[in-house]
Amino acid sequence: MAARLQAIELERRIGAGDARALARAASLVEAQGEAGRQLIANLFPRTGRAAMVGVTGAPGAGKSTLVDQLAKVLRRAGQTVGIIAVDPSSPFTQGAILGDRIRMQDHHQDSGVFIRSMASRGKLGGIAKGTLEMALLMDAAGRDVVLIETVGVGQDEVEVARLADVTVVALTPGQGDDVQAIKAGIMEAADVFAINKADMPGAERLEQEIRAMQSLGSEEQRANAAPVRRVVATEGKGIEELWSVIRAVFEKQGRRGARAETWALRLREMLRDRLLGALPDELVEEHAKRVAARAEDPYEAVEALRLSLAGQG
Amino acid sequence: MAARLQAIELERRIGAGDARALARAASLVEAQGEAGRQLIANLFPRTGRAAMVGVTGAPGAGKSTLVDQLAKVLRRAGQTVGIIAVDPSSPFTQGAILGDRIRMQDHHQDSGVFIRSMASRGKLGGIAKGTLEMALLMDAAGRDVVLIETVGVGQDEVEVARLADVTVVALTPGQGDDVQAIKAGIMEAADVFAINKADMPGAERLEQEIRAMQSLGSEEQRANAAPVRRVVATEGKGIEELWSVIRAVFEKQGRRGARAETWALRLREMLRDRLLGALPDELVEEHAKRVAARAEDPYEAVEALRLSLAGQG
């Protein structure tokens, strides 16, 4: 009873935009327990207001700096900001290398910027488990813009980007011979291209390459080709212009996060985590032993595990 | 009945190392249908003999060249090779950019090198669905070594690498400011570090950075620190030495793929694909619409989907 009253009070304070309440709620969401889920369920009707902007790109593209600069531009315009940085994490280092971000100090005095780092994926798989919940929480807390930063090479990071309303793909000149591959992988996901470090040689050529690739699309794809902008994030150059392009795309295409299509992707993710989370480790290990000993084939094992889950339902 | 006889004949020819039968079987596995699954189940007792070597690394690290050079060294030593290249794919380009690999021509005349490209992940998620099956097939077909090449930044590529017996992480000097992050993410997964393009400036420093990071581990981790080797893959420099280090690690730590622990990871992957594959798209879309309209919260939707799957069991 006391717990329920506390929860109601927390929800009320989050709805009122209280930054300390938001921080407490974020910890609940990170813990991935029942309290966090209940909180998000209760806050859910308040969501759907924030503009969710994904920023993705290969390692070295300067995404963190870009996100920080976008946050500064937004703050100057009087908007409140949430930042979710999805980090490739390691059990070896406990994510300490990235956890220790200079950016945290940058916005330290400003309650108008709320930052959380999320570790990408655990043993169960899943796109940065909890990212969606964290974004919904920031939305319910009244943040005007939520910036979601991910490393974008694997298909899963592309999917994270798809959870956003507008996806910005950051590229830099001279990223080596796999850049074609990267561009192929993220071409579909990009709503805006930001060529960062545009003062380096090759920026012009990179822009031409992107436009050449866009020209290969269908007539409809060509008509909706993602705008390309050059920036130098470390110097804050081109960031205001980049933001106005992002906003224009957002206004043109509307809130993708409100669309059923986006929710279908999200529900699949959540279901996957829910299902595999219910599987007892010992049962998996028992079958794994049998398969490793060739006493059972992998399909028999998977079928047995599936039936055990069905039995729980 | 005729189909079953054909299948038995195919299995026999695969077991005898027939390269054309292997190619036909690979197409069956790629189709992800019941015939492919049955084939792998029947061939499964023959598996567990090949050395599975994962090669991962950031875009631009020269993984393809490295894998090709390793294949050449192996061929000179009289070993048969399978190569699985997991490509970041795009519905936009249909993977044409990478499908058009020069390497295919390189080994074209040599039935001792069998190459397949796999597109990474579909809409259901999943680590390069079918990669494990393809590797098992090559194993059953008597390939001495199976090389699995993946782009390694996201956690899922790290997991692909874990499916191998030995994981080689390719790095290059001067990959920008996210290299720390990448190294943190793959540190755990690496059995061997290959510093490629070692004729470029910064190779020495990169090696020192890796060793410095290794020195942060526990006593046990330090004792088992992954060896670091410098290569110039485009010129074939250092590749024989790299292979002997890989083989030494393989001989020391044994066949990871035979371990129950590895199979536990693999079974989770397969189960995930199996479960979400059974979910009717229309049902997901129906709930997605309700959630987008805020008529249902996401947890209610996921619970309804879960119950529907349980009902099928």
**What is the full per-residue pLDDT of chain A (313 aa) written as tens digits?**
678 888 899 999 999 999 999 999 999 998 888 899 999 999 999 998 999 999 987 767 888 899 999 999 999 999 999 999 876 554 333 333 344 344 555 666 788 899 988 776 543 333 466 888 899 999 999 999 999 988 655 545 556 656 788 989 888 887 654 455 455 556 667 899 999 999 998 899 888 888 877 787 778 878 888 999 999 999 999 999 999 999 999 998 877 767 788 888 888 888 888 888 888 999 999 999 999 999 999 999 999 998 888 776 4
Distance CA A245, CA A129 (A): 30
Which residues have C-beta within 8 Å of that of residue B100, sequence separation ≥ 6? none
The DSSP code for A237 is B
Q: With contact defined as beta carbons under 8 Å apart, do B262 and B296 qualify? A: no
What whole-number percentage of chain A has pLDDT above 90?
42
Chain B residues with CB under 8 Å of A311 CB are 313
Mean pLDDT score, B183-192: 69
CA nearest to B242, candidates B123, B66, B7, B94: B66
Q: A159 in contact with B at a CB cutoff of 8 Å?
A: yes
B44–A298 C-beta distance less than 8 A: yes
Average per-residue pLDDT for chain B: 82
Confidence of residue B177 (pLDDT cuts 50, 70, 90): very low
Please state which architecture CATH assigns to domain A48-257: 3-Layer(aba) Sandwich (3.40)
SS3 (DSSP) at B263: helix
Q: A200 in contact with B at a CB cutoff of 8 Å?
A: no
B132 versus A174: the higher-pLDDT residue is: B132
Q: How much helix, strand and coil, in percent to the nearest 5, is found in chain A?
A: 55, 15, 30
Distance CA B205, CA B203 (A): 5
HEC profile for A103-168? HHHHCCCCCCEEEEEEECCECCECCCCCHHHHHHHHHHCCCCEEEEEEECCCHHHHHHHHCCCEEE
CA nearest to B135, candidates B122, B154, B148: B148
Query: Can you tell me which residue has the tokens 């020495």?
Result: B204
Confidence of residue B57 (pLDDT cuts 50, 70, 90): confident
* Structural domain boundaries in chain A: 1-46, 48-257, 278-312
- Residues of B numbered 212-251 whose beta carbons fall under 8 angstroms of chain A's beta carbons: which are they? 213, 216-217, 221
What type of residue sits at position A70?
Answer: L
Is the pLDDT confidence value at B136 over 80?
Answer: yes
Tokens found for residue B116: 């397949």
Which site among A37, A155, A196, A210 would you substitute to test the B interface, given the most B Cβ atoms closer than 10 Å to its Cβ? A155
A100 versus B166: the higher-pLDDT residue is: B166
Chain A residues with CB under 8 Å of B45 CB are 294
Q: B55 in contact with A at a CB cutoff of 8 Å?
A: no
Distance CA A193, CA A57 (A): 10
Is ipTM > 0.90 here? no
CA nearest to B66, candidates B143, B134, B149: B149
pLDDT at A95 (0 to 100): 39
Distance CA B147, CA A271 (A): 33
Is the pLDDT confidence value at B190 over 90?
Answer: no
